[in-house]
């Protein structure tokens, strides 16, 4: 085997058409051996090559006789001194941190640990048994791929509707997806799935982690697995388990095909990424990659006893954000997924942990500085899960400009309001209007708020209205795992029931939640499966359930079809109405001296909400008028954005409430768009000042009807209908927004 000096850059295994350059960072080790395997079934390497070249703490070599598809791993020599932070063990093969593909997943055995399992001194003693037969192995890839005319959809964040989903769970049971593609990247990009996403009206899919991950041994021994994937092993490698071919080279290609297919119909791809910890766990965890390569450099260790790890994540370890090499690893990974894999953004799991340069969360930390200065990463969608498990980790509203955040306060407020809790009206209104209290002071916009009511972590929407308590017995932890406080309400019966009144109330509550999400300023995120009324049987922590509990069931009942139709209706209403996806916060005052406000909150008697109403523990109903002709924003061509004026009536109480509708100008009236009491679209007219009775636990939307506006809206709808007959492009409904008023004599403003 010929070995040339090679280059210290780029890190990883890089094919250049004439051979492969191998480069790996290791500051504290004393030697590095590259191990080559003939196939994934091999129990020993066929060649062990000592890398003698070292440049700037990077060990490297070039092998002209190696090609894409070569399977490899590393053995790292150095001291085994856990109390000093060193855990080198050449008996343990480790995965290249820059591996672009994982050819063989882990096969659990005691040999995967750097110490003898069961030894009285635990990890203080080195285990010298070889793990080559069980260790995960990487593969060299050829990055060549024909992207054609692929380009990012670049949907503005304020027009984005996110669909959070799992690659496997979305398609595993889909009857129209070809069986070989179910549960795979190719299945997600198949025609029936794309059609569902387009019909629903989403603009982006947010995929639960697709970086290759490793399930914990304890789960595997219980017959479970790490279904969600928040246990990353390789930050550059798409998980081979979601590949239809299960081949290391094809897994990369299939991921790219998925992205290309989604882009072709205007859908963006956002990845849920985990850069706060790895699959190696705490000091008693396995040696898989970074621990055996350079533990002291890669992990945050306890200062006065480096045997132990700082754990801000609840997963046993935390990556060392003080290390330039860790920052480089993360940035290189992000850049790779954008430039090579063409993804459109990232959602950062436990993002507060990334800001912990010392102990405190520092929003101006090096990680954020580097992100903002990077010409590639700074231009994609950046979404933070703004908390971790450490002290001071809850940082909702505190991330820098350029970042959006999962708004946990929105979730909690909306759940409490529709549960019927008292004293919620004021905060609920703030969340509905975009959470200006969290984002406006720092110069951010409403689209900094990623609004969600449910997510992968917690109850589904169906379970939110069906269970008061979690039911996680299937996880094998005695129902101790998962959150105990879910702000849920079972509508009178715990779990499934055929009681007609309870079922009807649950359906209404689901419509209330979903409609609220689409009517709120900010960026709505739908938990994939909620539109199908998916239930997980009350399991609010189904991280380990790769089975019917989490897989979406596409065989819908008439009741589920009815809710899906409602969900589509309100998503498209959001796209059609500019007043529902403003770029700027409402001002609550008169715009440009006109006798209209951009937003007006009013009580059931028709008067504006008084201070005592906002603070009353008895208040559970409110109305809001959103002025479509007072948006005070310009489109991409500099034209004023104008849309319909809407009234939202919300009643979370258990009694019907008559609302006096706002007055209107001559030849205008209010028209009901939908009422969650029945979920049906209806065009019932109401005069200004007339009462509209909003039923208990219901939300209604009314539109200001004007003859001119109706003609324009009808024309826009015809254009949208024609567009859908051609080649799929961007989400069609965005082109069906009401036309702008450009004549010299606009109609009189509504009052």
Return the active site residues.
349, 385
Query: What is the SS3 assignment for 338?
Result: helix
- Contacts for 558 with CB less than 8 Å, ≥ 6 apart: none
Dist. CA 440–CA 522, nearest whole Å: 12
Number of helices (H), then strands (E), belonging to the chain: the values are 16, 29
| 40, 103 contact by CB (below 8 A) | yes
Dist. CA 114–CA 124, nearest whole Å: 9
| Distances 10 to 14, 22, 62, 63, 105 between C-alpha atoms, Å | 7, 9, 12, 15, 25
Q: How far is CA 585 from the centre of its chain?
A: 24
Question: SS in 3 state form for 732-746?
Answer: HHHHHCCCCCCCCCC
What are 381's two structure tokens? 């969608």
What are 663's two structure tokens? 């007055």
| 132, 45 contact by CB (below 8 A) | yes
| Distances 184 to 170, 250, 269, 555, 741 between C-alpha atoms, Å | 9, 12, 15, 20, 46
Angle (deg, nearest 10), helices 408-419 and 500-519: 140
Neighbours of 154 (CB within 10 A): 12
What are 394's two structure tokens? 């809850």
| Distances 653 to 412, 498, 696 between C-alpha atoms, Å | 18, 24, 6
- Contacts for 154 with CB less than 8 Å, ≥ 6 apart: 344
Query: What is the SS3 assignment for 721?
Result: helix
Q: What share of the chain is helix, strand, coil (3-state, %, to 5)?
A: 25, 20, 55
Task: Provide the b/e sequence for 164-191 (b: ≥16 CB within 10 Å).
Answer: bbbbbbbbbebeebeeebbbbbbbbbbe
Burial class of residue 555 (count of CB atoms within 10 Å of its CB; 0-12, 13-18, 19+): exposed
Dist. CA 540–CA 609, nearest whole Å: 37
Dist. CA 679–CA 533, nearest whole Å: 15
**Run of H or E including 87:** strand 86-87
Task: Provide the b/e sequence for 355-392 (b: ≥16 CB within 10 Å).
Answer: bbeeeebebebbbbebbeeeeebeebbbbbbbbbebee
Q: How far is CA 450 from the centre of its chain?
A: 10
Helix locations, 402-557, DSSP H: 408-419, 425-432, 436-439, 461-464, 500-519
Angle (deg, nearest 10), helices 408-419 and 425-432: 130
Strand duo 381-384 + 345-348: pairing: parallel
| 100, 136 contact by CB (below 8 A) | no
Q: Which of 294, 310, 167 is nearest to 229 (CA)?
A: 167
């Amino acid at each position: 085997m010929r070995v040339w000096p090679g280059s210290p850059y780029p890190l990883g295994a890089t094919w250049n058409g004439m051979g492969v350059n191998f480069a790996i960072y290791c500051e504290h080790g004393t030697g590095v051996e590259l191990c080559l395997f003939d196939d994934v079934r091999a129990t020993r390497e066929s060649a062990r090559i000592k890398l003698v070249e070292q440049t700037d703490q990077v060990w490297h070599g070039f092998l002209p006789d190696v090609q894409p598809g070569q399977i490899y791993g590393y053995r790292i020599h150095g001291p085994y001194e856990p109390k000093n932070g060193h855990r080198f063990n050449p008996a343990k093969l480790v995965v290249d941190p820059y591996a672009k593909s994982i050819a063989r997943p882990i096969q659990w055995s005691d040999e995967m640990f750097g110490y003898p399992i069961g030894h009285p001194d635990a990890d203080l003693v080195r285990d010298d048994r070889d793990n080559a037969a069980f260790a995960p192995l990487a593969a060299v890839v050829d990055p060549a791929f024909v992207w054609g005319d692929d380009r990012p959809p670049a949907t503005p964040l304020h027009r984005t509707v996110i669909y959070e989903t799992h690659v496997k769970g979305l398609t595993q049971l889909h009857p129209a997806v070809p069986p070989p593609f179910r549960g795979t990247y190719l299945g997600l990009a198949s025609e029936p799935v794309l059609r569902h996403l387009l019909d629903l009206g989403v603009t982006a899919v947010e995929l639960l982690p697709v970086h290759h991950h490793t399930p914990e041994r304890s789960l595997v021994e219980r017959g479970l697995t790490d279904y969600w994937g928040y246990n990353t092993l390789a930050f550059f490698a798409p998980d081979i388990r979601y590949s239809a071919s299960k081949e290391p080279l094809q897994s990369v290609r299939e991921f790219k095909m998925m992205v290309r297919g989604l882009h072709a119909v205007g859908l963006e791809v956002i990845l849920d990424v985990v850069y706060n910890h790895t699959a190696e766990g705490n000091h008693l965890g396995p040696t898989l990659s970074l621990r055996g390569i350079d533990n002291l450099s890669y992990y945050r260790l306890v200062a006065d006893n480096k045997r132990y790890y700082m754990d801000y994540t609840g997963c046993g370890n935390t990556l060392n954000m003080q290390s330039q090499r860790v920052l480089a690893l993360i940035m290189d990974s992000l850049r790779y997924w954008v430039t090579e894999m063409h993804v459109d953004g990232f959602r950062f799991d436990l993002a507060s942990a990334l800001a912990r340069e010392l102990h405190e969360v520092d929003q101006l930390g090096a990680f954020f500085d580097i992100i903002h200065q990077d010409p590639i990463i700074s231009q994609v969608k950046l979404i933070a899960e703004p908390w971790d498990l450490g002290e001071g980790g809850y940082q909702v509203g505190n991330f820098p400009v350029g970042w959006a955040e999962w708004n946990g306060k929105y979730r909690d407020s909306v759940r409490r309001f529709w549960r019927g809790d008292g004293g919620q009206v004021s905060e609920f209104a703030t969340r509905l209007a975009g959470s200006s209290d969290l984002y406006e002071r720092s110069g951010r916009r409403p689209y900094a708020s990623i609004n969600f009511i449910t997510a992968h972590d917690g109850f589904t929407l169906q379970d939110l209205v069906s269970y008061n308590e979690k039911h996680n017995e299937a996880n094998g932890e005695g129902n101790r795992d998962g959150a105990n406080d879910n702000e849920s309400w079972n509508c009178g019966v715990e779990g499934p029931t055929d009681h007609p009144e309870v079922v009807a109330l649950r359906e209404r509550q689901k419509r209330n939640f979903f409609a609220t999400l689409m009517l709120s300023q900010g960026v709505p995120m739908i938990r994939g499966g909620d539109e199908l009324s998916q239930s997980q049987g009350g399991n609010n922590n189904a991280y380990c359930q790769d089975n019917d509990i989490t897989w979406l069931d596409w065989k819908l009942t008439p009741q589920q079809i009815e809710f899906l139709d409602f969900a589509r209706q309100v998503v498209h209403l959001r796209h059609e109405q500019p007043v529902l996806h403003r770029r700027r916060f409402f001002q609550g005052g008169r715009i440009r001296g006109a006798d209209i406000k951009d937003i007006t909150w009013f009580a059931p008697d028709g008067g504006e909400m008084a201070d005592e109403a906002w603070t009353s523990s008895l208040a559970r109903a409110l109305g809001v008028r959103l002025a479509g002709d007072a948006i005070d924003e310009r489109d991409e061509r500099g034209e004023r954005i104008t849309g319909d004026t809407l009234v939202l009536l919300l009643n979370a109480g258990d009694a019907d409430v008559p609302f006096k509708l706002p007055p209107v100008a001559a030849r205008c009236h209010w028209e009901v768009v939908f009422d969650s009491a029945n979920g049906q679209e209806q065009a019932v007219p109401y005069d200004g000042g007339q009462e509209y009775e909003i039923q208990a636990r219901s939300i209604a939307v009314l539109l200001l009807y004007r003859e001119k506006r109706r003609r324009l809206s009808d024309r826009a709808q015809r254009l949208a209908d024609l567009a859908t007959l051609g080649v799929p492009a961007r989400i069609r409904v965005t082109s069906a927004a009401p036309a702008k008023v450009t004549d010299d004599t606009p109609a009189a403003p509504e009052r």
